[in-house]
Structure 1
Amino acid sequence: MIQSMTGYGKADAHFGGKKIYVEIKSLNSKSLDLNARIAPLYREREIEIRKMITPIVERGKVDFSIWTEKENAAEIAPINAEAVKSYVTQLRSISEEAGLPFDDSQAWQLLVRLPDTTAVQTSEELTEEEWNVVSAAIKEALQHLVDFRKQEGEALYRKFKEKIDNIARLMKEIEPFEKSRVQKIRERLEARLEELRGVDYDKNRLEQELIYYIEKLDISEEKQRLTNHLNYFCETMNTGHAGQGKKLGFIAQEMGREINTTGSKSNQAEMQNIVVMMKDELEQIKEQVLNVM
């Protein structure tokens, strides 16, 4: 079954007082175009992250993001008690030396603005335990992306099947006009010859020329090839091989050639109108094929 290149997946996890978010979304593209935005702590694992993503997404313009947020319990920075005591001692000493009153409320307003009153946060290091949590979240987000793509692929499959059936139906609608036009061509030629009074012509030769003319306008081969292409398109959709989108695009091009040739051989307005409708159905297929993996 086909998959769409359009997809979205997300996941989150908790570790060490923070919440880890993973998001991945993809759109159609001729090849893989991966743009990764990774939180600083996890950048050392970027190569591994890309190796996880690449075989799953295969094709498409992909935006991958991973970021963290501190949870409520971890948002409050601890106070550096030693630094506060040192500042208070210095402030009292300066007040006494300068003969200025020491106001506790004003002192606290000043203290919260001074540097180092909160404990210095040491730089984080990525542990193997945390990486396992992150890795699991990435895999979960990728699975959601694949599920999304499959759902979109099912919708595309139904759309393609509808358009393929429409083209096959329109092709059959051509047949009555195709058969009647032979008699119309004959009648038109004979009527022209009747206008040429006094001109004698070889009726056997006329039959030969008529047969030759009709053979040039015959679309039996085009119809047969178009039928084969329609069947092949459906068979390709039902396979699970990689690169279905490109293959379906090539088949659609071949379908277009047969429809165009049929139109060039159609010398009746009714047939040409049907060919136009076939082209419209095929154009919708071509547009949507660009979204197929």
Structure 2
Amino acid sequence: MPKSMTGYSKIQTIVDDYKITCEIKSLNSKGLNIDVSLPYFLNSKELDIFSKVKEYINRGKVSVRIWLRFIKPIQISVDHTLVRTYYDLLSEIRENLSIPVPVELSHLLSFRDIFQFELSNEEIESAWNAVIKVLDDALIKLIEERKIEGQKITADLVKMVKEMEELVEKISEKADDVPKYVAEKIRNNMKEILPDDVEINRELFENAVAIIADRADIREELTRLKSHLQRVGELLKKDEPVGDMLNFLSQEIQREFNTILSKSRSLEISNFALQGKYVISQFKEQIMNIE
């Protein structure tokens, strides 16, 4: 069963010497767009995050946020030159504005860039190995959420397909009566226009009926509609990305209903075609959520 493109997962856990939080959000999108936020010392792993997400997700706007805290003490250095720069600037601001409060250590500590992590390559790889485990779990959880939402959407889509199939069947039943309906309508019009003593040429009359009936023939459109709806039903049973194909088929289905409506000589067929257009418009809105 197809998955939804919308979902959310968040995992916060301790792995080895790290407390890791991973939050993933996914929304609708025409393609796959990935946005990643990492601790700065893991920025070099951004492409690896992209690759990992692509293993699970084919379509959607995906936001990945990862936070990491060290449980064990680590080496941190202080950029004293930067601290002095901040202190001088704050002092200058205080003097220019005649602020009576002196510059204190707490003010300087608010500038986080004065602290530098001193991590070796081994420590960075260790942290990354811990992060990738949590990311995997968060992606698995996200996929489960997308599956649950996908099941709800698919159930609605299946109902819409059944409703359209019933409408097509009703149109098919009425389509067989089109020649008879056209003949009756032409005959009534001729009676209204022509005097009673005028004799109608039967051959010309039958030719006129045949031409108009041929123009109103919707059997090809009905055949294509049945084929498209059958294909949609098959796609809705697949456990793989089918959103693009469903979108294409929905446009074709809408085109066939439009053609039937333009050809229709019957009020009943027109009403059924209008209902079909309404249902397919709802269908198209819903499949915007399908991966």
TM-score by length of 2: 0.77
Deviation at 1:239, TM superposition (A): 3.0
**Residue 123 of structure 1 aligns with which residue?**
117
Deviation at 1:36, TM superposition (A): 0.7
Alignment pair present for 1:221 and 2:215: no
Deviation at 1:270, TM superposition (A): 2.6
Structure 1 outlier segments of 4+, above 4 Å: 15-18
Q: Partners of 1:241 and 1:16 in 2: how far apart?
A: 36
Secondary structure of the 2:11 match is strand
Deviation at 1:189, TM superposition (A): 2.0
**Residue 85 of structure 2 aligns with which residue?**
none
Q: Partners of 1:191 and 1:230 in 2: how far apart?
A: 38
Q: Deviations over 1:50-76 (max 9, x none)?
A: 2211232222111110013577x98xx
Q: 2:144 aligns with which of 133, 141, 147?
A: 147
Q: Deviations over 1:186-242 (max 9, x none)?
A: 223223333412333311221122122112112111111100000011112223444
Alignment pair present for 1:237 and 2:230: no
**Residue 185 of structure 1 aligns with which residue?**
182
The answer to whether the 8 Å contact 2:8/2:24 transfers is: yes
Q: 1:172 aligns with which of 144, 169, 179?
A: 169
The answer to whether the 8 Å contact 1:13/1:134 transfers is: no
Q: Partners of 2:266 and 2:23 in 1: how far apart?
A: 56
Q: Partners of 1:137 and 1:51 in 2: how far apart?
A: 15
Secondary structure of the 1:20 match is strand
**Residue 161 of structure 1 aligns with which residue?**
158
Secondary structure of the 1:200 match is coil
**Residue 283 of structure 2 aligns with which residue?**
285
Secondary structure of the 2:247 match is helix
Residues paired across the two proteins, number: 253
**Residue 34 of structure 2 aligns with which residue?**
34
**Residue 108 of structure 1 aligns with which residue?**
none
Q: Partners of 1:20 and 1:236 in 2: how far apart?
A: 39
Cα 1:211–1:20 change in 2 (3 A) is same
Mean Cα displacement is larger for which, 210-219 or 183-192? Answer: 183-192
Matches within 5 A, 1:53-64: 53-64=53-64
Q: Partners of 1:2 and 1:121 in 2: how far apart?
A: 48
Mean Cα displacement is larger for which, 255-264 or 230-239? Answer: 230-239
Deviation at 1:165, TM superposition (A): 0.3
Matches within 5 A, 1:227-266: 227-242=226-241, 244-266=242-264
Larger Cα Rg: Structure 1 or Structure 2? 1
**Residue 206 of structure 2 aligns with which residue?**
207
Q: Partners of 2:189 and 2:47 in 1: how far apart?
A: 78
The answer to whether the 8 Å contact 1:41/1:124 transfers is: no
Cα 1:8–1:213 change in 2 (3 A) is same
Q: Partners of 2:128 and 2:184 in 1: how far apart?
A: 83
Q: Partners of 1:21 and 1:39 in 2: how far apart?
A: 11
Q: Partners of 2:5 and 2:178 in 1: how far apart?
A: 46
The answer to whether the 8 Å contact 1:20/1:69 transfers is: yes
Deviation at 1:13, TM superposition (A): 2.2
Identity rate, percent: 30
Q: Partners of 1:4 and 1:175 in 2: how far apart?
A: 34
**Residue 13 of structure 2 aligns with which residue?**
13
The answer to whether the 8 Å contact 2:172/2:222 transfers is: no
Deviation at 1:32, TM superposition (A): 1.5
Q: 1:274 aligns with which of 272, 275, 288?
A: 272
Secondary structure of the 2:30 match is coil
Q: Match for 2:253: what amino acid?
A: M
Mean Cα displacement is larger for which, 183-192 or 249-258? Answer: 183-192
Alignment pair present for 1:66 and 2:63: no
The answer to whether the 8 Å contact 1:161/1:234 transfers is: yes
